[in-house]
Amino acid sequence: MQALRNFLDSIEPAFKKNKFLHTVYDGFDTFLFAPKETTQGPGVHIRDGIDLKRTMVLVVLALQACLLFGMWNVGHQHYTALGLYPGLGEALFTKFSYGLLQMLPIIIVTHLVGLGIEFFFAAQKGHPIEEGFLVSAMLIPLIMPPDIPLWILSLAIAFAVIIAKEAFGGTGMNILNIALTARVFIFFAYPTEISGDTCWVAYDYNFLHKLFGMEGGTLQALGMAAVPEGGWISRVVDGFSGATPLGLAAKGGWDAVANATLPNGTAQYSLSNMFFGIIPGSIGETSKPAILIGLGMLIMSGIASWRIMLSMLAGAVVTGLLFNVIGGNAFMAVPFYYHLIIGSFLFAMVYMATDPVTAAQTQTGKLIYGFMIGVIGMIVRVLNPAYPEGWMLAILFLNVFAPTIDYFIYQRNIQRRLKRA
pLDDT, residue 181, reads: 93
pLDDT, residue 222, reads: 43
Kindly tell me if the per-residue pLDDT of 333 is higher than 90: no
Kindly tell me if the per-residue pLDDT of 35 is higher than 90: no
Half-sphere exposure of 348 (CA within 13 A, CB side): 26
In this prediction, residues 279-300 reach a mean pLDDT of 92
pLDDT, residue 227, reads: 47
What distances in angstroms separate CA 184 from CA 28, 308, 367, one per listed residue? 31, 22, 25
Closest C-alpha among 188, 220, 239 to residue 97: 220
In this prediction, residues 313-317 reach a mean pLDDT of 96
The pTM of the full predicted model, rounded to 2 decimals, is 0.84
**Percent of all residues in the chain with a pLDDT value above 70, rounded to a whole number:** 79
* pLDDT, tens only, 138-173: 999 999 999 899 999 999 999 999 998 888 887 778
pLDDT, residue 22, reads: 63
Strand, helix or coil for residue 261: strand
Decide which of 262 and 311 is more confident.
311
pLDDT, residue 223, reads: 42
Give 74: exposed, middle or buried? Use CB within 10 Å, 0-12, 13-18, 19+: buried
In this prediction, residues 220-233 reach a mean pLDDT of 47
* pLDDT, tens only, 334-390: 888 888 888 889 999 999 999 988 999 999 999 999 999 999 999 998 888 667 688
For residue 91, the one-letter residue type is: A
Range in 110-114, 158-162, 239-243, 379-383 with the lowest mean pLDDT = 239-243
Report residue 52's pLDDT band, with 50, 70 and 90 as the boundaries. low
pLDDT, residue 399, reads: 95
How far is the C-alpha of 270 from the C-alpha of 276, rounded, in Å?
A: 10
pLDDT, residue 218, reads: 47
Report residue 119's pLDDT band, with 50, 70 and 90 as the boundaries. confident
* Contact call for residues 298 and 350 (beta carbons, < 8 A): yes
Kindly tell me if the per-residue pLDDT of 50 is higher than 70: no
Strand, helix or coil for residue 330: coil
Backbone phi and psi for residue 261, each to the nearest 5 degrees, phi listed first: -130, 155
pLDDT, residue 220, reads: 46
Task: Name the DSSP letter for residue 42.
Answer: S
How far is the C-alpha of 242 from the C-alpha of 203, rounded, in Å?
A: 9
> Please, what is the average pLDDT of the chain?
82
Decide which of 178 and 196 is more confident.
178
- DSSP character string of 53-72: HHHHHHHHHHTHHHHHHHHH
